[in-house]
Structure 1
Amino acid sequence: MPKVTCNPYRKDVNSEDYIAHTTSTAPRLRSDGTFHALEKLMKESLEQMLDRWRHRIWACIRPCLEEPCEYFLPRHIMNAIVDEVHVCSSLDNLKTLAAGWEYVDTHAEQPFNFLTEILTAFQQIFTDRRAAEQPSSDSEVDDGSAATGMERLQNTTVAVLRSFCRELRLSTTGNKTILVDRLAENFISTAVPFPTPDEIAERKSTLMAVDEPQVLGDKTNIPSPPSSPKKRKRERNVFVQNAN
């Protein structure tokens, strides 16, 4: 077996022997929980980003134009980093994961900063996903507020309850208990706060102002109730007698 050096891309080293040597001696690292294990699509995206990164870095430090970026960061080391990248919460872990990389002592900090930025973005995706799966505490209506809101609805009038139902495009039929249950179910299911005492009082005042008859001077402009058939007949007879 030839002497194992740090880069399998060199012609004097057998790549298969080098890869077998590094993979057999590399210690198994465990995540400390800082980063979530990446999904398949995330790993594929990371591999592409890391490949572009090594091309960019190697273009700045390569000694001659004939040597490709494989000389700087071999593919098998890059794959090893991508497969277990979630354990790279520290620079030492990355160095351990990239065991055998020729430039690990001089350039490991650059990929570490690059990977930390990417892992932080991926971690935010996992955080947002968990937040979307769990209902927000702000949108939840606890039992106490629901009970208080229902009590306020029960203490108001049927006219006010029906007014809220019309505003929410709910049915206005039924007695007071049905109206209260209908409104409470709507408020809880839609996470809309129950009406406050001030809102209920304002709604009640508005309804009273609409129903209150208009007053002109000292007389109230109240329409007279319709006359009964007998009264209309008597009035007609009196009118005929006066005409004669």
Structure 2
Amino acid sequence: MTKPPPGVPGVVELPVPGAAADVRVALARVAALAGWAESVRDCLDAEEMARAAAFRHESDRRRFVVAHCVLRHELAARTGEAPGALRLGPPVPVRGPRAKPRLEDHTLRFSLSHSGDLVLVATAEREVGVDVEHVQDPVAAEQVLALLHPAEIAALRALPAVDRAAAVTTVWARKESLLKALGSGLFRDPSVDEVGAGPVPRRPVPGWRILDLDVTPGPGTDRVDVRAALTVRDAPGRI
């Protein structure tokens, strides 16, 4: 069952089987929340406002505003702070050279991803990374395929061509979620970690768990062909 998180109309909390109770993932749709986001956009800080204004295309600006308003309201619901009072402080390195954003004055961690009309916000009392991807077209999928781990490439090449693009997108979402959780982004070579091309994600980095997410459309919404994944740090002592 999905349920609406407090404070964000129309957003649903996705079930995350296999994750600890502190891990939550919220799903939002840009088109449904564009008006709401404009009405609450004063919760964004000066840097976010400047980034929003810098977009050349209105669709990109709208997606950014919705995503960051949802992020702030999700963080507010979990911390008890007002959305505009939260300080998304200077990024801090976690692993590798890429900086990872953090929430100042709170232990809560978060990750944000968006693709097309969809926005995912993951929050947890541990490091977390989330990614959502629309299924790539066959040409783009072939380009991505060449970047993957050798075992993943072999497994994906063995699939019928008609199934390959969706499978590549699944692997890429798993890999992006892992790299975001680690804080390395694509500064870490995507061919290094074997996240797996099978039905169950592998565990290439000790202490971290990758989980596939089911982004199922709700009643009255158009079906979209997407893949999503979440990576979370294990609790101490968990195997």
**TM-score above 0.5, yes or no:** no
Higher fraction of helix: 1
Q: Which has the greater radius of gyration?
A: 1
Higher fraction of strand: 2
Larger RCO: 1 or 2 (CA < 8 Å, sep 6+): 2
TM-score, normalising length: structure 2:
0.20
